Structure 1
Amino acid sequence: MSARDLSVLLGVILIIIMLVIPLPGWLLSILILTNISLALIVILVTMNTQEALDFAIFPSLLLLLTLFRLGLNVSTTRSILSEADAGNVVDTFGEFVTGGNPFVGFVIFLILVIIQFIVITKGAERVSEVAARFTLDAMPGKQMSIDADLNAGMITEQQAKDRREKIENEADFYGAMDGASKFVKGDAIAGIVIVLVNIIFGFIIGMTQWGLSASETVNVFLRLTVGDGLVSQIPALLIATATGIIVTRVAAEGNLSHDVTGQLFRYPKLLYVAAGTIFLLGFTPIHFMLTASIATILAVGGFYLDRSHQRQQEYEDEETDQQTEDKEVATPDNVVDLLNMDPIEFEFGYALIPIADANQGGDLLDRVVMIRRQIALELGIVIPVVRIRDNIQLNPNEYQLKIKGNEVAKGELYLNHYLAMSPGMDDETIEGIDTVEPAFGLPAKWISEDMKDEAELSGYTIVDPPSVVSTHITEVIKRYASQLLGREETQQLIDHLKQSYPTLVDEVTPEPLSVGEIQKVLSKLLEEQVSIRNLPIIFETLADYGKMTNDTDLLAEYCRQSLSVQITKMFAAEDYKMKVITLSPQVEKKIAEHIQQTEHGSFISMDPETQQKVIETIHQQASQAFIDNSTPILLCSPAIRRYVKQMIGRYLTDVVVLSYNELEPDLEVESAGVVNI
């Protein structure tokens, strides 16, 4: 057994001895001073603990100290009543603290008892009771939280075990404190009883057994009794205060001194208000110099605390910035953020920065806003924000456009030049850098400003660099509009339509068609540049045919037929005529015979040789339209339209495929050729 363990055991045995065996006055003085020292140590420890569990032995220690103090009371009472002597410490307290007046000392003793019993002990007892109940009630929820964190992999098995033990220890501690607070209450009551016993029986013993007069009896026994009461109530008051501190301690960042100073003086400017209030009190009968001195101390303290808080805030801001930078580099969450992808990105070399920099006269941002408005009007979709940024990995005059992270177009710009597109016959006198117009692939030249007027006189179409790039961006976005329309964008369109046509929307979605199916129908329309701005007609068609089929390809065909007026105006000439290429009955029959139906949809399954002949023939017939700079239109029956587009779409992207049902009856159709094999 260690010396530490032995000392605690001897201390407990000493308490028992004090209750039975009389002790000499010098030993009582040593034990009384030891009691005061222990009480001081306990209250200092409670003030420096951050959590109640840091001083978990407190309930047991409280019992031992209370028993020790009561043992001292029994010993001193025995010495006072039997020998009129309880040691030098008791005598000194009775003489010095009371100023030689035992009645004054008795009043001080009563005040200490009232403070301890009514104020501190009563409050600590109530807080202990409430804390114990709340801790026990919160245990199931805390246990479930630990199990949830463990199942989610946020903590390890050992961490879960430690947290469970902490919860159990908290419940045990506050439960023990609820009972231990009764010791403090009982101690206060016992102190009052012991003092009364000492006074009453002291009078009886002094006047009957020792033959003292009343004044001598009061001077001897009341002085010693008050001294004994004071030396016992002072450590009792310290222990009661420590009890109140330990049970009112909440989660904190430091000890009590740190928290009191840190939280009480958290707002230094309020000290100026307090200083002003105290200063104004000096104009009352209170001494002016006294209030002015205290006000000055408060104001100076507020000034230095304010400066200290500012320096601390600057330091914390620097630490926060550094931690943020470290987290951006090191945390897994930031790695996840790297997976985010902009729907549309426009990147350019450093030589093209002036077209995007408003300070240098660049208007690309304004042009992008106009592009979004134009596409909303033409195609009926709201494209996402275009991310514009420079890229030093590109050539100085190079730019590229990305759709969902993939490069879909690129080109070159020369800011001090103009793009001159040929009228068909080149003028050899027009010198420049040969290139291709990026949006439509037409031959062109980058010419200097000096050649601009001459090129215009030669019939060249002159375009400035910002217009070139904005036109290119517009055409690329139109081409990839179907990829930019996802489910979220489709839901936004549906929500917007529902504001005006709630019944129509409710009839279409979520039954019989989901948002995903509607998105597929709209995407198929956009793939062939059919505007979806007229959503009410599209939803009317989906409401009519959605209950019969969920084949999105077929539903898209029905929608195209409902949009016949719109499609006719898209491709008809000004005189409301349309030149078309038609398929011969033999070709249409062959295509119809090779349509295969599967559970995943229908597709055309024609032998490669025949398919190649059909594509080549269509290309031959469409060549004249390409020469005339017009859009070649292939007209076929509604049953095979989508399969014809499916067959030639990869090879003849510029050929428009229409069905008879997609044209208005009053449209004058002229045949520009027949596809035959």
Structure 2
Amino acid sequence: MATNNISKRLLANTDVLAAIGVVAIVIMMVVPLPSFLLDILLTLNITGSVLILMLAVFTTDPLDFSVLPSLLLTMTLFRLSLNISTTKLVLLNGFAGNVIQQFGQFVVGGNPVVGLIVFIILVVVQFIVITKGAERVSEVAARFTLDAMPGKQMSIDADLNSGLINEQQARDRRKKIQQEADFYGAMDGSSKFVKGDAIAAIIILFVNIIGGFIMGVLMRGEAITEALQNYTLLTIGDGLVSQIPALLISTSTGLIVTRAASDSNLGQDLSKQLTRSPKAMFLTAGVLVLLAIFGLPPIPLLTIALALIGVGYFLQKNSRQTVAEESVAARETAIQESKKPENVLNLLQVDNMELELGYALIALVDAQQGGDLLDRIVLIRRQVASELGFIVPVIRVRDNMNLQPNQYAIKIRGAEVATGELLADHYMAMSGGIEDESIPGIPTKEPSFGLDAKWINAVYREQAEMSGYTVVDAPTVLATHLTEVIKGNAWEILSRQDVKTLLDHAKEQAPAAVEDAMENLNLGQIQKILSNLLRERVTIRDMVTILETLADYASGTKDIDRLTEFVRQALARQILQQLLGQDKNLPVLTLEPKLEQQILDSIQPSDYGSYLTLDPRILQELMQSLNREIEKMMIKGYNPVLVCAPVVRINLKRVTERQFPQLIVLSYNELVHGVQVQAVGMVVAGNAS
């Protein structure tokens, strides 16, 4: 129990222990250490280096060992502190502990010349080969990781938009991308410490040899050969004790930064990738046999060739057996699945929005082929949120082999609401009224607004633009069409869950307004009011104003249409803002007073809202007169706007919206102060004229 309590306390205070450890490393440079303690610390240095190498070998993701840059700096500082401590003992006592003494005797056989050569080779290998290579790989990895960050972020947004991942997964991926950039940047900097450590080792080597020789001859009276022999062996032993761990850590650094493209540890990668091709084994064995025939030592070559042939035969046999087993397992799985009761619950789910593409248009969403449609959909969702004030649900993008190759279809809750055809490798040229017959193309209709257009080859793009055509690429045509479909059907797309999300967001800013509105209205009623606004493309972005208006009037009436009109009056400035020019002048149509009274008298209330019971003859004449006046306004370049009484407005809009979707119907109460209203026409019908 006591041991567990101590271990828990130590784990809870690892930050304090780490700080004490770093301070102790610095103190080691100043305070003399006894030889027995130095032996323990040198052994600890070797142990830590081997442990770091093993962790690097078994690490599958570099971020799993993200502490390596800091650990690299700490181990380098620790190694330099040991070098300084051993140097003091070598120069003062001519002895630096049993570890250094045994390294000098065991590794190089007591020969200082051999030891010096081995030490220099180790330093060269570490400095020029491993450290230099790891430094370069870290630098390139850091640069490439930073350059790839925008693309990775867009890929995450695309996956989120297409529904492949959720918000939490997207946040986790973005965090990992940031961590990767930080990690490789830190590795690029920490590699410089290892490089500097190799240079310091060479300097310390010569300082120890020269200084020890002087100390032995001049201060201890040793013979020249004896001093040279003794201090050279001690220095070489010291250098080997420090450089072998340094070499291990440099190797660990190289392993970590070169494993960015792997998802398993080093041993698994080697076993899978080096032994995946029996043919490679057989061909390599054949080359070795040829070398033996040409006169090279036959015994080692033929021995290794036979081993390769054996390994290749075993792999080939095992591969065939694995394929057979997988085939049997697949058949058994298929049989078992066929016997299971069919699960059709997943088939009941209906996506809010879908975009289906023919196979010739798949390249538009494939980033590897330059497709950026998913990125455009992300921008569309942001645009709609900014303009209309609600979040478009995830749009599922999928291929549909039942469509024509160049066809696409837009669906809302499983029902097709729009379709069109694209030529992915062409541009759509829309004329401004003047046709240039010298530009060849395939006649078509612009899907969003029904304008005359033609598909042209890319070589004619510049000529078409100079001739006054508006030229856009296929993804832009599809994105524009999708945007218009969303705006035109936003009132259908808006669900109660979406309204709940909007209310939760508004509650953070104005909790009182949300509470007051919800006292008299339920979620479904608020959804219907918001849908009425979106049906006429009125923004619901100012949710606080909408809720405050509903709180003011909902206690007196529950009629959805009347509440909608009250909200429209509160949002009058936002509604008019899109219709007014810089001169604040608003050209409008008006209703002949007698006709307006007839419409008012024909409004009948019901449990499902009010509706018109206008005489069919009068209604037909109303439509004809309205059509004439709208055409006159559009010829003059005006937006078709009709002004009428508040009670008439919503009923008249519903009667006319199918035939004249572009007509904007305002009530007199929505004409705020400061707007100059200019009546440019009057709608009459039948005897009312």
Normalized against structure 2, the TM-score is what?
0.51
Q: How does 1:179-328 map to 2 (within 5 A)?
A: none
Partner of 1:551: 559
Partner of 1:433: 442
Partner of 1:538: 546
Amino acid at match of 1:512: N
- For 1:365, which of 369, 374, 377 is the aligned residue? 374
Q: Does 1:472 align with 2:477?
A: no
Partner of 2:138: none
- For 1:525, which of 514, 524, 533 is the aligned residue? 533
CA contact (8 A) 1:327 1:334 kept: no
Partner of 1:512: 520
Q: Find the aligned partners of 2:470 and 2:638 in 1 and give their Cα distance.
A: 18
**1:421-459 deviation per Cα after TM superposition (whole angstroms, max 9, x unaligned):** 111121222221111111111111111112111111111
TM-superposed deviation, 1:331: 5.5
TM-superposed deviation, 1:334: 2.4
Partner of 1:491: 500
Q: Does 1:676 align with 2:672?
A: no
Partner of 1:116: none
TM-superposed deviation, 1:553: 1.0
Partner of 2:609: 601
- For 1:651, which of 659, 662, 686 is the aligned residue? 659
Partner SS for 2:348:
coil
- For 1:564, which of 569, 572, 585 is the aligned residue? 572
- For 1:640, which of 625, 629, 648 is the aligned residue? 648
- For 1:378, which of 369, 379, 387 is the aligned residue? 387
- For 1:481, which of 461, 479, 490 is the aligned residue? 490
Partner SS for 1:445:
strand
CA contact (8 A) 1:418 1:465 kept: yes
Structure 1 stretches lacking a partner, 5+ long: 1-313
Cα root mean square deviation, aligned: 2.4
**1:135-162 deviation per Cα after TM superposition (whole angstroms, max 9, x unaligned):** xxxxxxxxxxxxxxxxxxxxxxxxxxxx
Amino acid at match of 2:379: M
Partner of 2:629: 621
Partner SS for 2:674:
coil
TM-superposed deviation, 1:330: 6.5
Percentage of pairs with the same residue: 45
CA contact (8 A) 2:590 2:643 kept: yes
Q: Find the aligned partners of 2:481 and 2:666 in 1 and give their Cα distance.
A: 26
Distance 1:330 1:648, change over 3 A: farther
Q: Does 1:412 align with 2:421?
A: yes
Q: Find the aligned partners of 1:502 and 1:319 in 2 and give their Cα distance.
A: 63
Partner SS for 1:371:
helix
Q: Find the aligned partners of 1:322 and 1:572 in 2 and give their Cα distance.
A: 69
Q: Find the aligned partners of 1:657 and 1:459 in 2 and give their Cα distance.
A: 34
**1:341-371 deviation per Cα after TM superposition (whole angstroms, max 9, x unaligned):** 1111111111111111001010001000000
Q: Find the aligned partners of 1:449 and 1:459 in 2 and give their Cα distance.
A: 16
Q: How does 1:45-124 map to 2 (within 5 A)?
A: none
TM-superposed deviation, 1:417: 1.1
Partner SS for 2:423:
coil
CA contact (8 A) 2:587 2:638 kept: no
Structure 2 stretches lacking a partner, 5+ long: 1-322
Q: Find the aligned partners of 1:323 and 1:403 in 2 and give their Cα distance.
A: 40
- For 2:404, which of 379, 395, 410 is the aligned residue? 395
Partner of 1:184: none
- For 2:675, which of 660, 664, 667 is the aligned residue? 667
Q: Does 1:592 align with 2:596?
A: no
TM-superposed deviation, 1:318: 10
TM-superposed deviation, 1:665: 1.5
Structure label with greater radius of gyration? 1
Partner SS for 2:343:
helix
Partner SS for 1:673:
strand
CA contact (8 A) 1:567 1:663 kept: no
Q: How does 1:15-34 map to 2 (within 5 A)?
A: none
Q: Find the aligned partners of 2:325 and 2:639 in 1 and give their Cα distance.
A: 66
Distance 1:326 1:501, change over 3 A: farther
TM-superposed deviation, 1:539: 0.2
Q: Does 1:502 align with 2:502?
A: no
Q: Find the aligned partners of 1:315 and 1:610 in 2 and give their Cα distance.
A: 80
Q: Find the aligned partners of 2:548 and 2:430 in 1 and give their Cα distance.
A: 45
Q: Find the aligned partners of 2:539 and 2:559 in 1 and give their Cα distance.
A: 20
Amino acid at match of 1:565: R
TM-superposed deviation, 1:572: 1.3
Distance 1:329 1:623, change over 3 A: farther
Q: Find the aligned partners of 1:330 and 1:559 in 2 and give their Cα distance.
A: 58
Q: Find the aligned partners of 2:374 and 2:334 in 1 and give their Cα distance.
A: 30
**1:90-119 deviation per Cα after TM superposition (whole angstroms, max 9, x unaligned):** xxxxxxxxxxxxxxxxxxxxxxxxxxxxxx
Q: Find the aligned partners of 1:514 and 1:316 in 2 and give their Cα distance.
A: 60
- For 2:452, which of 426, 436, 443 is the aligned residue? 443
TM-superposed deviation, 1:654: 1.3
TM-superposed deviation, 1:600: 3.3
CA contact (8 A) 1:595 1:605 kept: yes
Partner SS for 2:610:
strand
Distance 1:605 1:320, change over 3 A: farther
Amino acid at match of 1:466: P
Partner SS for 2:646:
coil
Partner of 1:203: none
Q: Does 1:454 align with 2:463?
A: yes
TM-superposed deviation, 1:669: 1.5
Distance 1:431 1:546, change over 3 A: same
CA contact (8 A) 2:428 2:456 kept: yes
Distance 1:329 1:547, change over 3 A: farther
Number of residues of Structure 1 aligned to a counterpart in Structure 2: 364
Partner SS for 1:657:
strand
TM-superposed deviation, 1:664: 2.0
TM-superposed deviation, 1:324: 7.9
Partner of 1:631: 639
**1:461-496 deviation per Cα after TM superposition (whole angstroms, max 9, x unaligned):** 111111111011001011110111111111111111
Residue range with higher mean Cα deviation, 561-570 or 572-581:
572-581
Distance 1:352 1:329, change over 3 A: farther
Residue range with higher mean Cα deviation, 591-600 or 626-635:
626-635
Distance 1:552 1:451, change over 3 A: same
- For 1:423, which of 432, 453, 456 is the aligned residue? 432
Amino acid at match of 1:417: H
CA contact (8 A) 2:560 2:609 kept: no
CA contact (8 A) 1:344 1:386 kept: yes
Amino acid at match of 2:528: K
CA contact (8 A) 1:422 1:444 kept: yes
**1:62-106 deviation per Cα after TM superposition (whole angstroms, max 9, x unaligned):** xxxxxxxxxxxxxxxxxxxxxxxxxxxxxxxxxxxxxxxxxxxxx
CA contact (8 A) 1:434 1:444 kept: yes
Distance 1:429 1:552, change over 3 A: same
Amino acid at match of 1:642: I
Distance 1:395 1:627, change over 3 A: farther
